[in-house]
Amino acid sequence: METGDPLKMLKEWISASQKTVVLTGAGMSTESGVPDFRSKNGFYAHYDPAEVASVGAIENHYETFHQFYQRRIEDLKKVKPHKGHEILAQWESEGRIHLIATQNIDRLHQLAGNRNVYELHGNIRTFRCARCDHPAGEESFLAGKRCPQCGGPLRPNVVLFGEMLPQEEWRKTVEEASEADLILIIGTSLNVSPFNQIPFYSRGKKALINMEPTLLDDQLDLRVFGKAGEILSQLHSLLLN
Ligand code: BV8
């Protein structure tokens, strides 16, 4: 772990990096008003992940599953990217960052203007039948409709616990990470695998911007504690000078 002012150190690393891959989690979106999962007032304080975000949830607790996603979809209609998202979009256009691999399903990175974004935990903007995979629309899902093809239950195209991550995006993320000289991890508890393994495909430096320590801090090279939007704004100002 490095010593000295972590913010200035991180600014130097970003400045010097030839290839930076950014990994984000729910902490990247809380300043847009989207709750995270494992903080004290996060989603999992009110919902059991096994009941709402696992494959079994659809078969055994469809009502709770449907309510969980219905609420998140409705809430997302009111949120927009914050300063931190906008800075990451500017950094992509300036060539400072190469790729964002996100666990978030809110598409705020894309709304802010980032084009190289891999959604490794899917999204809640597109839907399908949980039984026959027939594509479905948001309004059908929100209305609790069944699949017109087979009568099965509808679901968002998120990656639930026990499901594989999208293989092509996963392969490309691992490839980019293995060539990166800086992995910048923002707003995640690094609880969930295999996403939390991505930093370790890189031989480069691994830096964290987060409100609190994560499970893997002892394997990281630098940590800046604070709010993503604020830290990214400070880094942005430092990089301008
Ligand atoms: C798979 C649905 C294999 C989408 C989610 C036992 C031990 C170890 C692993 C396992 C195990 N049992 C099962 C597993 C594997 C499992 C897993 O990792 N479980 C963990 C939790 C124990 N993983 C899987 O099942 C994955 N699939 O492994 O498949 C396989 C192989 C063959 C065949 C079939 C399958 C699939 C992972 C599922 C991902 N989907 N939910 C949704 O509804 O969103 S997980 C859920 O957690 C979300 O997706 C979310 O993206 C993800 C990670 O959460 P974070 O983003 O990190 O959010 P969190 O709240 O935890 O942390 C936020 C952090 O930000 C906090 O530290 C907070 O302090 C900070 N913060 C907050 N605000 C700010 C901030 N920081 C800065 N600024 C702020 N403003």
Q: Along the 241 residues of the chain, how does pLDDT read in single tens digits?
A: 556 799 999 999 999 999 999 999 999 999 999 999 999 889 888 888 877 899 899 999 999 999 999 999 999 999 999 999 999 999 999 999 999 999 999 999 999 999 999 999 999 989 999 999 999 999 999 999 999 999 999 999 999 999 999 999 999 999 999 999 999 999 999 999 999 999 999 999 999 999 999 989 999 999 999 999 999 999 999 999 8
Does the beta carbon of 29 lie inside 6 Å of ligand 1? no
How far apart CA 75 and CA 69 sit, in angstroms, is: 10
Does the beta carbon of 106 lie inside 6 Å of ligand 1? no
Does the beta carbon of 230 lie inside 6 Å of ligand 1? no
- 184-227, pLDDT tens digit by residue? 999 999 999 999 999 999 999 999 999 999 989 999 999 999 99
Radius of gyration of the chain (CA): 18
- 40-66, pLDDT tens digit by residue? 889 888 888 877 899 899 999 999 999
CA of 189 to the centre of ligand 1 (A): 8
How far apart CA 55 and CA 212 sit, in angstroms, is: 29
Query: What is the CATH number that goes with domain 35-78+126-158?
Result: 3.30.1600.10
Which atom of ligand 1 is the closest one to the Cα of 162?
25
Domain with CATH 3.40.50.1220 in the chain: 1-34+81-121+166-241
Domain with CATH 3.30.1600.10 in the chain: 35-78+126-158
End-to-end CA distance of the chain: give it in Å, rounded. 26
Query: What is the CATH number that goes with domain 1-34+81-121+166-241?
Result: 3.40.50.1220
Does the beta carbon of 159 lie inside 6 Å of ligand 1? yes
Read off the pTM. Answer: 0.96
37 close to 50: Cβ distance less than 8 angstroms: no
DSSP-derived pairing of the beta strands 122-129 and 154-158:
antiparallel
82 Cβ contact list (under 8 Å, min separation 6): 31, 32, 229
CA of 186 to the centre of ligand 1 (A): 14
**Residue labelled with tokens 């629309």:** 137
CA of 192 to the centre of ligand 1 (A): 3
User: φ, ψ for residue 208 (rounded to 5)?
Assistant: -120, 135
How far apart CA 136 and CA 121 sit, in angstroms, is: 19
